[in-house]
Amino acid sequence: MTIKIPDKWSQPNELWHQKTFYTEAGRPNYTYHFKSQAEHPSKVFEIETVLTKQICGYELLKKDLRDIADFYVELKQALEDESLRTRTNLQKAIVRSLVVTYGKCFAAAEGRKTKLNSEIIPNELIELHKYLIDMRNGYVAHAGESTHESCKYVLVIPPSSSFKYAEDIQYGTFVEMHQAVNIEIIFKDDFQGLIKNLLDYVSSKIISLEKKVFDELNNKLKNNFLSLYEIEPEKNRSVLRG
């Protein structure tokens, strides 16, 4: 069964409209329309430079941090809603999404070298940061035994009065397993402050990098901007490499 994702329009600024439409495989494609959605799609040039790759890295970090903030709100609502309070699997899924995404922000990955460093976190928030990373490493990511997850296999023998001969002992074996839901995140007052602090840092980096990209573009294309109109990109899209 193929699920059709509907097209989506957004307006990043007062001059441009962005249309997002999806292939059958769910891959997004984008077109840009000047001043009106009815306008024909404009030419697009993908800019591949060191600076733009850094911007993309920070934009992905920004998206992850916003998702974390949303996960926090969803978890809080699930705990406040009486019909959802007993759904521990739902709560566990949200917590796992939150801590995995948080840990991802501090780890480089193929295709995204930009990552956050714990050195940017204020002293008053560092313990919370360590708590989240420990939770991610010990409970979610590496599935090892920790304070967040444990498993013991036990043998239980009955009271001696329950049998006469050793061969009559009816022992039992059991698995003692625990995976914490860790909803105590909700009760840490500085959680939202931590995410806001990181979002502010990432946003400032994006602003700084974009200024450098604009300066770079203006210097390179200052007297040659019209030449872009002579390029016939495939499907209205081409690549400019630095």
Q: Is residue 20 part of a domain?
A: no
Mean pLDDT of the chain: 84
Q: Is residue 214 part of a domain?
A: yes
Q: Is residue 127 part of a domain?
A: yes
The total of structural domains in the chain comes to: 1
* Pick from 58-67, 200-209, 229-238: least confident: 229-238
* Polymer length in residues for the chain: 242
Q: Is residue 53 part of a domain?
A: yes
Q: What is the pLDDT of residues 28-52, one digit of tens each?
A: 899 999 999 999 988 888 888 899 9
Q: Is residue 52 part of a domain?
A: yes
- What integer pLDDT is reported at residue 209 of this predicted model? 93
Kindly tell me if the per-residue pLDDT of 187 is higher than 80: no
Q: What is the pLDDT of residues 50-81, one digit of tens each?
A: 999 999 999 999 999 999 999 999 888 888 88
Average pLDDT over residues 89-102: 88
Q: Is residue 80 part of a domain?
A: yes
pTM of the model: 0.79
If DSSP states are collapsed to H, E and C, what string results for the chain? CCCCCCCEEECCCCCEEEEEEECCCCCEEEEEEECCCCCCCCCEEEEECHHHHHHHHHHHHHHHHHHHHHHHHHHHHHHHCCCCCCCHHHHHHHHHHHHHHHHHCCCCECCECCCCCHHHCCHHHHHHHHHHHHHHHHHHHCCCCECCEEEEEEEECCCHHHCCCHHHCCCEEEEEEEECCCHHHHHCCCHHHHHHHHHHHHHHHHHHHHHHHHHHHHHHHCCCHHHHHHCCCECCEEEEEC
- What integer pLDDT is reported at residue 153 of this predicted model? 85
Kindly tell me if the per-residue pLDDT of 234 is higher than 70: no
- What integer pLDDT is reported at residue 119 of this predicted model? 95
| Domain range for 215 | 43-241
Task: Judge whether 195 and 72 are in contact, CB under 8 Å.
Answer: yes
| Banded pLDDT at 181 (limits 50, 70, 90) | low
- What integer pLDDT is reported at residue 5 of this predicted model? 82
* Pick from 12-26, 39-53, 140-154, 199-213: least confident: 140-154
Q: How far is CA 80 from CA 74, 83, 186, in A?
A: 10, 9, 11
Q: Is residue 17 part of a domain?
A: no
- What integer pLDDT is reported at residue 170 of this predicted model? 83
Q: Is residue 19 part of a domain?
A: no
| Banded pLDDT at 140 (limits 50, 70, 90) | low
Residue with the bigger pLDDT between 55 and 176: it is: 55
